A = this chain, B = another copy of it.
């Protein structure tokens, strides 16, 4: 099948995903009217073939990841999605089949999260595919939850389970046939399909003092949360929530615990909650269907955060933070 030119490609695959203000993608810009009394929250993250995903991942999964990693940032800030722009840089050998499946996955994810496509750009990459998303959310004016606003004594909490995606990636690079196939599939799925914790956004606004999403590993991202603030933290490894699949993988190889704690792509939320707000935070998180757990505490001091094992000894990690760069 002959490949479509840029205009035809947009009309065929992306115009059906467009929302109000996008003019059916027939203009050079979109308009967005924020709700009265609200701030916009803006975030941009790109994923690159061979860097952030495997070039032969299902195109729909790549789309889910490209949008999901951005929605995860909005969730961590306490924002409700309003829309996104897509910068799609295609390799010279792109196919209509790939693009069709990509657009289908993107549309499904966009619909699921109430985040319509508002515009974007399509270019030749001259190399691997790059999918850049800019996502827009909104929240009541002045209520954005910042990354570096924790105080000593705040309790550190995480949503969901930690390390699944990193273990999923590790098992793709070094398969472990002895692990239960259902567990292998669960971990693989977490690597492929981030689950932005948007349901937690209002709970974070109400109760968290600081928050970020965990994209580069719990240990590394906690370090970023406190870097330069004069604060440190202590986490108890035994309190970090692990999925049954992660537990099974770690049981077969205890070194995988470090992978779980430092590997990337969790897209869970890390937040600092004042102690007096902790019960309400945990209860409301459960009520919106996002399990959350207390894992540690913020303390005064400039040392790097520590992760303590069951004996109370600080664990040492070869790499503190996963980096896609």
Which residues of A pack against B, CB within 8 Å? Answer: 5-7, 23, 26-34, 36, 39-52, 73-74, 76-77, 79, 83, 85-87, 89, 118-128, 130, 132, 134, 136-137, 141, 144, 146-148, 212-213, 215, 224, 228, 323-325
Contact = CB atoms under 8 A, between A and B. Distances in A.
Contact of A126 (B23, B29, B50, B74): B50
B29 A42 contact: yes
12 contacts: A6-B323, A29-B43, A29-B79, A31-B39, A31-B77, A34-B34, A34-B40, A40-B136, A42-B118, A44-B85, A44-B120, A46-B121
A71 to B, nearest CB: 11
Contact of A123 (B48, B123, B212): B48
Contacts of A46: 87, 89, 121, 123, 132
A40 B32 contact: yes
B31 A41 contact: yes
User: For the complex formed by this chain, how many copies does it contain in all?
Assistant: 2
Given A122-B325, A128-B126, A132-B132, A29 B77 contact: yes
Contacts of A51: 123-124, 126
Nearest to A139: B31
Contact of A323 (B5, B32, B137): B5
The CB with the most chain B CB atoms within 10 A, among A52, A136, A213, is that of A136
A76 B27 CA distance: 10
Given A23-B146, A87-B44, A325 B124 contact: yes
Nearest to A321: B7
Contacts of A43: 28-30, 85, 119
Given A40-B33, A73-B28, A73-B29, A85 B134 contact: yes
A171 B41 CA distance: 44
A89 B48 contact: yes
A187 B73 CA distance: 43
A149 to B, nearest CB: 10
A122 to B, nearest CB: 6
A26 B43 CA distance: 12
Given A74-B29, A85-B44, A134-B85, A127 B124 contact: no
